[in-house]
Structure 1
Amino acid sequence: MTEEKILNEVKKFSQAKMGDDETGHGFDHIQRVVGLADRLVKHYPEANRVVTVTAAYLHDVIDEKLVADTAQASQEVRYFLAQQGFTAAQSDMIFLIMDNMSYHKTLDGTAKPLPIEGQIVQDADRLDAIGAIGISRAIYFGGHFGEKIYDPAVKPRTEMTHAEYRNLNNETIINHFYEKLLTLKDLMNTSAAKDVAEHRQQVMLDFLAEYKAEWNAEA
């Protein structure tokens, strides 16, 4: 198959798996991450575009917070990749990316170094978590799980473990910006992503300033 035909099959597989998500990780998120990854990969000719875009399409398909049985989901993905003609080495790289790009991996220090393809997908995923889209996704995700929007008495958590990060009972939506989202700009791998992140960071800072001014009836 041609490169585009392979990626079209990957797209259909991803859409079938993620199309019903209601946590802010649905296929609209996938398509934005793919678009960003495809935009970023143009700056790095040494990167394999098919591997990069495929990993972007599949990055949430085996995510522990979205999938009940990650082992079964992983098996399905490996079988699918083999059907599309991916080599064992390419499949292993895609899984290396998916298994080590999540933010929580930076909390417990278990993340393995990512190849340039993985750095690009990780950056694309993180870019979609910040800026105007990031604001709406944070509110959507928090609302889905019944989080409190804001409580000035509840201070943002610092130096969280993986378990603490997953414990939404100790988080507010606004605190999530300080606990995670505002840290992502400085975690970008590629210079191309860093340029995009600068603007999106300011969008979030402006939102938080306005939100607190309105909360305190100052605006």
Structure 2
Amino acid sequence: MEGSHDWHHIERVLQNARIIQQKEGGDLLTIELSALLHDIADHKYHNNDFELGSKVAKEIVLEHYQDEHLANSIEKIVRAVSFKGALVEDSEITLEGKIVRDADRLDAIGAIGIARAFAYGGSKNRPLFDRSIHPILHKTKESYSAGKSHTINHFFEKLLLLTDRMETQTAKEIAQERQHFMLSFLNQYFKEEGFSIEGSAFDLSDFHTSE
């Protein structure tokens, strides 16, 4: 597995989830198991099968815990965690699900999020940036998952949108610093490219941070 979705990513999501749970509450076992299983049979690596991961997660929990309620809860969380497009609303989910979804999204932003974006883009032989290909705000999970754009577009199509979509107060607070770092990085990137973003499809003025 390439570096953006490896075991280290799982460990960081688990750590984020524990930090959020300490302040927000929720059933710790459900949160920990969901964090550990949230990327199993990820659709990006399984022909965009959006149902496989949640099914496998449920089977694993049933095998090891023989608890139907726990397995069903984790199945629903794993199905709901992934981002499915800028214009696709996040599904309603339990507190435990919100915590895991926020924990995963925190690992998609900031310095680590930048590193992961370029690691994944490199694994798919995608260019760093192409000013002629503008970001798309996808309306369906199918169009989002089928996208094969340059890596900088990924910031506009997903990463810069995540701070405003955090659902727990703890994650919202953590996300602010990471959002600020991404904006600083992008401003420097475009400066080094010699590309003026003002008024362009890559204008950063619509994105903000409370810092």
Q: TM-score range by the shorter chain?
A: 0.7 to 0.9
Partner residue of 1:208 out of 161, 165, 186: 186
Aligned residue for 2:169? 191
Taking a change above 3 Å as real, the CA distance of residues 124 and 76 of structure 1, as seen in their structure-2 partners, is: closer
Q: Which residue among 19, 22, 25 is the counterpart of 1:42?
A: 22
Select between 85-94 and 114-123 the one with higher mean Cα deviation. 85-94
Q: Structure 2: give runs of 5+ residues left out of the alignment.
A: 197-211
Q: Is the 8 A contact 1:51 1:117 kept in 2?
A: yes
Q: Distance in 1 between matches of 2:81 and 2:75?
A: 10
In the alignment, which residue of structure 2 is the partner of 1:102?
Answer: 82
1:179 to 157, 178, 181: 157
- Of 117, 131, 147, which residue of structure 2 is paired with 1:168? 147
Aligned CA distance change for structure 1 residues 216 and 72 (closer, same or farther; 3 Å): closer
Residue 24 (structure 1) aligns with: 4
Structure 1 position 112, deviation (Å): 3.6
Cα distance in 1 for residues equivalent to 2:53 and 2:21: 27
Are 1:89 and 2:69 counterparts?
yes
Q: Is 1:149 matched with 2:128?
A: yes
The Cα offsets for residues 9-46 of structure 1, whole Å up to 9 and x where unpaired, read as xxxxxxxxxxxx1161110100000000011000123x
The aligned residue for residue 207 of structure 2 is none
CA contact (8 A) 1:119 1:190 kept: yes
Q: TM-score, length-normalised on structure 2?
A: 0.84
- What percentage of aligned pairs have identical amino acids? 34
Q: Give the letter for the 2:92 counterpart.
A: P
SS class of match (1:212): helix
The structure in which a higher percent of residues are helix is 1
Separation (CA, whole Å) in 1 of partners of 2:83 and 2:155: 14
Deviates further, 64-73 or 93-102: 64-73
Tell me: CA distance 1:198–1:75, structure 2 relative to 1, closer, same or farther (3 Å): closer
Counterpart amino acid of residue 123 in structure 1? D
- Does 2:34 align with 1:55? yes
Cα distance between partner residues in 1 of 2:67 and 2:95? 18
Residue 140 of structure 1: aligned partner: 119
Structure 1 71/150 Cα, relative in aligned 2: closer, same or farther at 3 Å?
closer
1: CA distance, partners of 2:52 / 2:162? 30
Give 4+ residue runs of structure 1 displaced > 6 Å after superposition: 69-72
Which consecutive residues of structure 1, in runs of 5 or more, have no partner in the other structure?
1-20
Change (3 A) 1:27 1:60: same
Structure 1 residue 113 and structure 2 residue 92: aligned?
yes
Distance 1:167 1:32 in 2: 27
2: CA distance, partners of 1:135 / 1:162: 22
**Per the alignment, do residues 92 and 200 of structure 1 end up closer, same or farther by CA in structure 2, a change over 3 Å counting?**
same
